[in-house]
Amino acid sequence: MPMIETINLTKRYGDLTALNNLNLTINEGDCFGFIGPNGAGKTTTIKILATLLKPSSGQANVAGLTVGYQNRQIRPLIGYVPDELGAYEDMVVTEYLEFFAASYGIHGQQRKKVVHDVLELTDLGYKATAEVNSLSRGMQQRLSVARVLLHDPKVLLMDEPASGLDPRARIEMRELLKELRRMGKTILISSHILPELAELCNVVGIIERGTLLFNGTVDEILRRAKLGHVIHIGVTDRIDDAAKTLATLPGVKKVALANDDSVTAAVGSKLIHVTYEESGAGGLNVADVPNVLVTRGFRITKFTEEPVNLETAFMRLTKGLVQ
């Protein structure tokens, strides 16, 4: 069952189109990674789904309910984590959580139990009496997650939850998100930390200038981005001859010499970048390349294949355009 669905969702601010006919489907239990440069439309999408913005046209549904028409029914089902935590001055952690629990209609002993449970889940129990504004950025982000879990929502909308966190805090946030996914939550998360999204998410979407470029599983996006593999080869000398030799191999699409002298100095040789098609009909068998070079008298100092991960896929599938 789709928990989040957008149909030709469009948002305009005057002459600026922040979202352009966005079509997304996120099923129950999915962890969806929303990827794109600043200004691509990620936050606009999340705010519309959180019922904080009205779309200019198109439709957004959460759990089968339509944003803009059934907001009162949608809000108890969602938890929205913005990129910044807002809190009243001098409010301590338990007061902060009890304030929001009361807003959700949770009272008495049940409220105390719920507050205790979310503090334990987010590992903030030892900070229960600390002032919110005294918490580190990482702890504030965990507190923001604790807040949205008070009413046990089905859907979590998380806008850059790891932004500005140090490495330890990012690891802690990642483990918390894994636990929430194990609990069956449907999660939409935007982030610039792409390796972590690859580990967390089973589905990703790439958006640029308000237009969705790709939507599918992580494996699908990696396969799509891997059209044209790249290997990096270092030789001690006769680099031009080596490049010409490589260009004659079947399946080789492009041969380029490294321009960065610092890289050349670091590996102790000159580098050649080879883009090729996989072995098969007219393709290249990478295992044969070192033997070809050695038999022709070249001395190899480096031979590595460029890995394709979510970061390289993002760079290959986008153009770096901003609004």
One-letter amino acid of 198? A
User: In terms of DSSP bridges, do strands 16-27 and 2-13 run parallel, antiparallel, or are they unpaired?
Assistant: antiparallel
CA angle 169, 28, 191 (to 5 degrees): 30
- Cα–Cα distance list, 130 to 82, 92, 127, 143, 232 (Å): 21, 5, 5, 12, 52
With CA atoms as reference, report the closest residue to 177 among 206, 198, 205: 198
Same domain? For 160 and 281 the reply is no
Q: Look at residue 323 and tell me if it is in a domain.
A: no
> Across residues 2-18, what is the average pLDDT?
93
pLDDT at position 193 over 80: no
Same domain? For 9 and 147 the reply is yes
Q: Look at residue 10 and tell me if it is in a domain.
A: yes
Q: What percent of the chain has pLDDT over 70?
A: 87
Q: Look at residue 9 and tell me if it is in a domain.
A: yes
Token match 């129990």: residue? 125
In total, how many domains does the chain have? Answer: 2
> Across residues 193-216, what is the average pLDDT?
84
> Across residues 267-292, what is the average pLDDT?
71
pLDDT score, position 283: 60
Contacts of residue 206, defined as CB under 8 A and 6 or more positions apart, other chains included, come to 35, 36, 212, 213, 214, 215, 221, 314, 317, 318
Kindly indicate the confidence band of residue 281, based on its pLDDT and cuts at 50, 70 and 90: low
Same domain? For 254 and 203 the reply is no
Highest mean pLDDT pick, 3-7, 227-231, 304-308: 3-7
pLDDT score, position 19: 93
Same domain? For 45 and 120 the reply is yes
Nearest-angstrom CA–CA distance, 37 and 60: 22
Can you state the percent helix, strand and coil of the chain, rounding each to 5? 40, 30, 35
Tell me how long the chain is: 323
> 115 lies in which domain range?
2-216
> Across residues 289-303, what is the average pLDDT?
88
CA 138 to chain CA centroid, nearest Å: 18
pLDDT at position 130 over 80: yes
Kindly indicate the confidence band of residue 266, based on its pLDDT and cuts at 50, 70 and 90: very low
Q: Look at residue 68 and tell me if it is in a domain.
A: yes
Same domain? For 267 and 152 the reply is no
- Residue 13: CATH number of its domain: 3.40.50.300
pLDDT at position 308 over 80: no
pLDDT at position 228 over 70: no
- Residue 278: CATH number of its domain: 3.30.70.1340
pLDDT score, position 318: 65
Q: Look at residue 165 and tell me if it is in a domain.
A: yes
- Cα–Cα distance list, 198 to 35, 42, 122, 153 (Å): 11, 17, 22, 24
Q: Which of 26-30, 33-37, 317-321 has the lowest mean pLDDT?
A: 317-321
pLDDT at position 265 over 50: no
> Across residues 3-27, what is the average pLDDT?
94
Nearest-angstrom CA–CA distance, 152 and 28: 15
pLDDT score, position 79: 94
- Cα–Cα distance list, 250 to 224, 238, 276, 287, 298 (Å): 22, 21, 9, 13, 19
With CA atoms as reference, report the closest residue to 46 among 55, 114, 134, 12: 55
Nearest-angstrom CA–CA distance, 68 and 91: 33
Q: Look at residue 71 and tell me if it is in a domain.
A: yes
Q: Look at residue 321 and tell me if it is in a domain.
A: no
> Across residues 210-235, what is the average pLDDT?
78
Q: Look at residue 76 and tell me if it is in a domain.
A: yes
Same domain? For 211 and 231 the reply is no
Same domain? For 207 and 175 the reply is yes
Domain boundary among 216, 239, 266: 216
